[in-house]
Copies of this chain bind each other. A is one copy, B any other.
Amino acid sequence: MPRKPKMKNLSPAALDMIAARFRVLSDPSRLALLHALMEGERNVAQLVEHTGLSQANASKHLSQLAEAGFLARRKDGLFTWYGVADPGVFELCDLMCGSIARKLGRDLQEIA
């Protein structure tokens, strides 16, 4: 029987999936929408008001976030309410902020 590999191999398809989800988080407008939803569910008009995005633009970004599974939508009459479906997304952002802090610290060391 073949030797057990030291490290799990990631298939190209898996890499594509992971990359696609990172891409959803790689836009400041979408991050602003996520941030605006930390305190709880909001509808589109509220998010437009809060972020300054256009209605069409906000709607598109919200759809992408929901499609990726970070947000959940709930329709109530004319309104669509968006809320966080996977709180793990905030852990991701926190980790990224920590990574940025470490990098800035290292950059500072280089200069000093």
Spell out A's residues near B (CB within 8 Å): 6-7, 10, 12, 15-23, 25-28, 30-32, 35, 38-39, 68-70, 85-86, 88-89, 91-93, 95-100, 102-103, 106-107
Sampled A-B contacts (6; CB under 8 Å): A10-B32, A15-B28, A17-B100, A23-B26, A69-B107, A88-B95
Most buried by B among A32, A96, A106: A96
The answer to whether B32 touches A26 (Cβ under 8 A) is no
How many copies the complex holds: the figure is 2
Q: How far is the CB of A51 from chain B (nearest CB, A)?
A: 10
The answer to whether B100 touches A21 (Cβ under 8 A) is yes
The answer to whether B26 touches A20 (Cβ under 8 A) is yes
* Residue from B69, B99, B100, B107 in contact with A99 in the complex, judged by beta carbons closer than 8 Å: B69
Chain B residues contacting A27 (CB-CB under 8 Å) are 19
The answer to whether B99 touches A88 (Cβ under 8 A) is yes
Q: How far is the CB of A38 from chain B (nearest CB, A)?
A: 6
